[in-house]
Amino acid sequence: MELYCERGYDNTTVEEIAGRAGLTERTFFRHFADKREVLFGGAGALQDYLVTQVLDAPADQPPLEAVACALMESGEVIFEERREFAKLRQAIILANEELQERELIKLARLATALAGALRQRGVPDPVASLTAEAGIASFRVAFESWVADSTGRRLSQFVRSSVDALKAATAAN
């Protein structure tokens, strides 16, 4: 992360990353497919966590609320302790179009996985797909606000506000 901030993503090599970490390039490639994965390596764990949360939500919980609660819980369990990392990561991603595209792919995969979890809960399409997409859009807006925030508000608070704003927007005629 320091190298990306110092030199920029494009100007940082795997050799430099490995050297800074006290590793060989071979060891680096045992853990990461490429230098992008330093930024995106936890996507699978996040996806698994969110899917589990949605599947374990109370049966009578509405679909959007199940997704919102899963996203809020991920804020508490996964992101809150990594706030500084998240800020650095976001700045690096925003400075590089290739990384922005990769971030959108990650978010699309999360939406697909959440839609699958909702379907497993008995939510039919297109409701499952629309709910998952809307949930991820709300999360993205909340996450961007959270990393820019200097007041110390928790990510879960931003997620709740974002989902509530979505509900208000869709209720308006």
Per-residue pLDDT of 68-93, as tens digits, reads 999 999 999 999 999 999 999 999 99
Share of the chain above pLDDT 70, in %: 99
3-state secondary structure of 18: helix
Which amino acid, residue 93? Answer: I
Q: What is the reported pLDDT for 173?
A: 60
Confidence tier at 56 by pLDDT (50, 70, 90): very high
Whether residue 11 has pLDDT greater than 80: yes
Q: What is the reported pLDDT for 37?
A: 86
What the chain holds in terms of domains, given with CATH numbers, is 1-35 (1.10.10.60), 40-171 (1.10.357.10)
Q: What is the mean pLDDT of the chain?
A: 94
Q: What is the reported pLDDT for 74?
A: 96
User: In terms of pLDDT, which residue wins out, 99 or 42?
Assistant: 99
Residue 123 DSSP class:
P
CA distances from 28 to 3, 21, 39, 98, 113 (A): 15, 9, 14, 21, 28
Confidence tier at 43 by pLDDT (50, 70, 90): confident
Residue 124 DSSP class:
P
